[in-house]
Amino acid sequence: MDRRKFLENMSLLSGSFLLAGLPTKAWSSPLMRSLEGTDDKILVIIQLSGGNDGFNTVVPIEDSLYYNKRPRLAIPKEKALKISSNIGLNPNLTGFEQLYKEGKMSLVQGVGYQNPDRSHFRSTDIWLSSSDSNEFKSDGWAGSYLSMKYPNFPLESPTHPMAVQLGSSESALLHSHAGSMGLVFESPNAFYQLVAGSQADNDAPPSTLAGDELKFLKQIASQSIQYRDVVKTTGEKGKNLVTYPNSRLGQQLSIVSKLINGGLQSSVYLTILGGFDTHANQADAHGSLLKQLADAVLAFEQDMEKMGYGERVSVMTFSEFGRRLNENGSLGTDHGTAAPMFVFGNSVRGGLVGKTPDLSKLDSTGDVIFENDYRQIYASILQDHLGMNSRQIKEILGQEYKILPIYRSNIMASNPDLEFELKQNFPNPFNSSTTIQYVLKKSSQVKLSLVDMTGRQVSVLAEGTQSDGGYEVVFNGTDYAAGLYLCVLEVNGKRSSRRMVLTK
């Protein structure tokens, strides 16, 4: 069996199974990164486990169907926190209201996927793996992103975790073809205490199949011992500059903030807030969960702002599905389909993305029809926050998805009148080849060419009529002289150019 299956099978054993005196969970996986520096973007993910009720989170205050279908559970119009002419936030989301007014919250409406699955487990798998409802993947989308960002893992032994999950059992979100990409612990000190005092076993394993797996486990153990001090040191060094609410999520985000402030160079953090499976007596429980969520996120965003990390860190929430429009007989709501998602940070454009769901147009089961595929949010985060190009995003998510105007860095979203965009080539400078990307808002007559500094056209890279969408051209400069060039995009008579530096 492969290593992943080997470890999965081992995880089925009882907690009494020990390796070198430690539970096997302690070893998890060698999750360290070699890149140093503090300019890398960070994504903090908050999973709302159980299926968050989107209708009572983002309230359609002017829709009579909402109030007709929820005579006891509906949020009264006068109590909702109005953020547009027809939308209000749950009154417990005062933290979200403040961030929205400050332009630090993008609210994406009607998020879901085709042929929704209402099973908690299956729908969660779909969201974590970025798969279709009839597709089964073993890798998580964040794990795939990390394995692409750190292609030499696990052969190299870097110094910091690539990802951190606050909790006790690892999420499939952080799985990849290279193994698990996430370090899981309740707190830095708890993790340190678990591994403290252990020593790596350097004895050569036997030359057998089992010996190969034992060698792998020894490598994991050795690397776990190596980064125990990094996690503890950064956790102790880091400081919170604001006071966090004394809640489960507040404590998790407080730890994330301390690790970031202390210098831990992880790219992805995952926190989980459970309890959203509100089949009965929903009103008080759901309102309490939303207050915990909003208060914790507000504290975290204020903390990042004071640390000077507001542009560097972005926060995303998701839940496996929304709830039914109709309230049930137990003063609760049952499993539904589409729901809103939230993205926070100084780099977001802020405001509403997408239309308010039309409650008069439901699917055959009486559920709201989604407008935005959840992978569009992933693609937007990967491109506009984490810096992935369209080819990389397609490899991570399996296909291309339309980028949504969530972040300010999305030029076309910020300029509605812009018909096309020529992006900077990457890498730049380049030695042999570089990738050129451009986006068309509508079908256009296109010419992409390379011009030297004398103004002479040296190559035509693309020409003809092209439909709307994103395009990518790989330029091979092997047969060209080193120097400065202009990449010129002509679209319907209008021009845009980027400087390119070819080195030899």
Question: How does DSSP assign 382-425, residue by residue?
Answer: HHHTT---HHHHHHHHSS--PPPTTBTT-HHHH-TT--EEEPPP
Asked if residue 361 has pLDDT above 70, the reply is yes
Q: Are strands 268-273 and 163-166 parallel, antiparallel or unpaired?
A: parallel
Fold of 419-502: Immunoglobulin-like (2.60.40)
Domain ranges for the chain, please list them: 3-411, 419-502
- What is the band of 217 on the pLDDT scale with cuts at 50, 70, 90? low
Residue 71: partners with Cβ closer than 8 Å, 6 or more residues away: 327
Q: Give the range among 183-192, 248-257, 369-378, 444-453 with minimum mean pLDDT.
A: 183-192
The per-residue pLDDT for range 7-42, each reduced to its tens digit, is 444 443 333 233 333 333 333 333 323 223 334 899
Q: What's the pLDDT score for residue 336?
A: 96
Asked if residue 378 has pLDDT above 90, the reply is yes
Question: Whose CA is closest to 354, among 410, 413, 313?
Answer: 413
- What is the band of 212 on the pLDDT scale with cuts at 50, 70, 90? low
The per-residue pLDDT for range 99-139, each reduced to its tens digit, is 999 999 999 999 999 999 999 999 999 999 999 999 999 99
Report residue 42 as tokens: 């960070």
Q: Give the range among 368-372, 379-383, 467-471 with minimum mean pLDDT.
A: 467-471
Asked if residue 269 has pLDDT above 80, the reply is yes
Q: How far apart are CA 346 and CA 348, in angstroms?
A: 6
Q: How far is CA 485 from CA 422, 438, 451, 476, in A?
A: 15, 17, 6, 13
Q: What is the DSSP letter of 25?
A: G
Confirm whether pTM is higher than 0.85. no
pLDDT > 70: percent of the chain: 86
Q: How far is CA 84 from CA 81, 87, 89, 294, 357, in A?
A: 9, 5, 10, 19, 14
Q: What's the pLDDT score for residue 203?
A: 67
What's the average model confidence in pLDDT over 446-461? 93
Mean pLDDT for the chain overall: 86
Give the distance between the most distant pair of CA atoms in the chain.
77
Q: Give the range among 185-194, 262-271, 489-498 with minimum mean pLDDT.
A: 185-194
What's the average model confidence in pLDDT over 248-275? 96
What's the average model confidence in pLDDT over 268-295? 98
Highest-confidence segment of 147-151, 245-249, 493-497: 245-249
Residue 151: burial class (beta carbons within 10 Å; 0-12, 13-18, 19+):
exposed
The CATH class that applies to domain 3-411 reads alpha beta
What's the average model confidence in pLDDT over 34-59? 82
Q: What's the pLDDT score for residue 222?
A: 61
Highest-confidence segment of 15-29, 156-170, 260-274: 260-274
